[in-house]
Amino acid sequence: MTEQSSFEAIAFTARDGLRLAGRRYRARGPASATRRRPALCLPGLTRNGRDFHDLALHLAREAEHLRDVYTLDYRGRGASDFDPDWRNYAIPIEMLDVLDYLTVIGRHDVALVGTSRGGLIALVMAAAQPSSIGALVLNDIGPVIEQQGLARIASYVGRAPLPQSWADAARLVRGLFEKQFTRVPDTDWETIARQLFNESGGRPAPGYDPKLARAVSVLDGPVPALWPQFEAVRRLPLLIVRGENSDLLSQATVDEMTRRHPRAEAVTVAGEGHAPLLRDLPTRAAIARFLAASDKTAASAHAAAA
C-alpha cells in the first residue's frame, strides 16, 4: 500500500476564503470503529499533517480499538494555501480554521492530539468551544513555554536554506535536530525531512510560508503562563507526552499539570526532544490505550445522562 492510498485527501474553504487541506484515515474493520470518538491531529508551528502519518495508521488500522483519524494543514503549511496577510498566522485565526474543519467533516467531541502549537490551539478551543473536544493529548506543550526552546525555534523559522535534493534535506534536518533526537536511526532522517518539506518536481519545496517567521518575531520575550486556559481542560481526559530532551516543556511543568489535573496521565519519550515524533511503538500504543479509556469514560457519562 502506498502512503497516498492510505488516506483520503480533504480540501475545504475557510470562512475567509482560503483553501485548506486535511486528511482522513478511515478506520478499518467493523462499523463500530467509526462510532468511536474520532481523533483530530494538529501539528506544530511550521509542521503539517504528515507528521501524524504513522500514528494515524496505528489508530485507524493497528490498535485494538480502531477509530477514524483526521489531520489538518494550517494555513500557510503543507498542502494549504499561503495567506496573503502574515498576520493571520495567529492562534485565534487557526482555531477558527479548526472549527471550520470540524464543521466540514461533521465531527465534534473529538479526541484532539495537539503537538506544540496544536496543543495551544486546543487550550483555546477548550475554553471557547467546550463541546468540540472530548479528550486531549498534549504533545510536548503546556501552560509554561520555556524561553530557551522558543528562542531555538525562532532561530531557524524562515531562515533555513531550501535543500537542493532529498539527501541535502536529510542532512539539514539532522543538523537541526540530532542533539535532541538521539535515537533516530541514520536512515530515518530523510523520512522526517519529507514530512517537513513539500515536494515539487521530485525535489524539496518549502513546507511552510517563509512569512511565518514574521509572526514568530512578534513573540519576542517570555510568553505569559497559560494556567487560566489550562483550567478549561480539567474536565477532559488528558494525556501529556513529553520528550525526554525537550527544551520547550519542562518536567516541572508536567508535574504541576498533573497536580492541577488529577485525572491527567503523563508519558516520557526517551531519546527525543521537542516535539516527540509519535512514530515509536510504545508512544503510539500509549496514545491508543488512552483514547480507548477515554471512549469508556464518554460511554459511562452518556449512560448516566440517559
Chain CA centroid to CA 87, Å: 21
The per-residue pLDDT of the chain, averaged, comes to 92
pLDDT at 221: 62
- In the predicted structure, residue 306 carries a pLDDT above the cut 50: no
Which position has the higher pLDDT, 179 or 298? Answer: 179
Instruction: Assign 174 a pLDDT band (cuts: 50, 70, 90).
Output: very high
Helix extents (H) in the chain: 32-35, 53-57, 91-105, 117-128, 147-156, 166-177, 189-196, 212-217, 227-230, 251-260, 281-305
- Residue 126, CA distances (Å) to 130, 133, 218, 259, 275 in order: 5, 7, 25, 19, 22
Cα distance between residue 72 and residue 56, in whole Å: 12
Candidates 106, 142, 107; CA nearest to 233 is: 142
All domains of the chain in start order, with CATH = 4-149+227-305 (3.40.50.1820)
pLDDT classification of 4: cutoffs 50, 70, 90? low
Residue 71: phi and psi, rounded to 5, are -125, 160
pLDDT for residue 216: 84
> Omega before 275 cis (within 30°)?
yes
Q: What is the pLDDT of residue 298?
A: 55
- Of residues 219 and 289, the one with the higher pLDDT is 289
* Contact by Cβ (8 Å): 19, 49: no
3-state secondary structure of 220: coil
Long-range contacts of 153-161 (CB under 8 A, 24+ apart): 153/45, 153/216, 153/248, 153/274, 154/213, 154/216, 154/217, 154/219, 154/220, 157/45, 157/46, 157/212, 157/213, 157/216, 158/210, 158/211, 158/212, 158/213, 158/214, 158/216, 159/213
What is the helix (H) or strand (E) element at residue 9, kind and residue range? strand 8-13
Q: Average pLDDT, stretch 162-174?
A: 97
Lowest mean pLDDT across 18-27, 80-89, 293-302: 293-302
Q: How confident is the model over 178-196, as pLDDT tens digits?
A: 999 999 999 999 999 999 9
296 compared with 134, residue with greater pLDDT: 134
Q: What are phi and psi of 266, to 5 degrees?
A: -140, 140
* Pair 233, 126: CB distance under 8 Å: yes
SS (H, E, C) 285-296: HHHHHHHHHHHH
Q: Give the integer Cα–Cα distance in Å for 67 and 233.
A: 22
Contact partners, residue 106, CB within 8 Å, separation at least 6: none
Q: Is the pLDDT of residue 305 over 50?
A: no
Share of the chain above pLDDT 90, in %: 85
Which residues have CB under 8 Å from 197's CB, separation 6+?
Answer: 163, 169, 204, 205, 206, 207
Over residues 225-281, the pLDDT tens digits come to: 999 999 999 999 999 999 999 999 999 999 999 999 989 999 999 999 999 999 999
Q: Write the pLDDT tens digit of every residue in 126-151.
A: 999 999 999 999 999 999 999 999 99
In this prediction, residue 262 carries a pLDDT of 86
Strand partners, 39: 69, 111
Distances (CA, A) of 90 to 93, 124, 242: 6, 12, 24
Higher pLDDT, 163 or 219: 163
Under DSSP, is residue 98 helix (H, G, I), strand (E, B) or coil?
helix
Please check the confidence at residue 302 and state whether its pLDDT lies above 50.
no
Q: What is the pLDDT of residue 301?
A: 44
pTM of the entire structure? 0.94
Look up residue 65 and give its three cell numbers: 480499538
Q: What is the pLDDT of residue 272?
A: 98
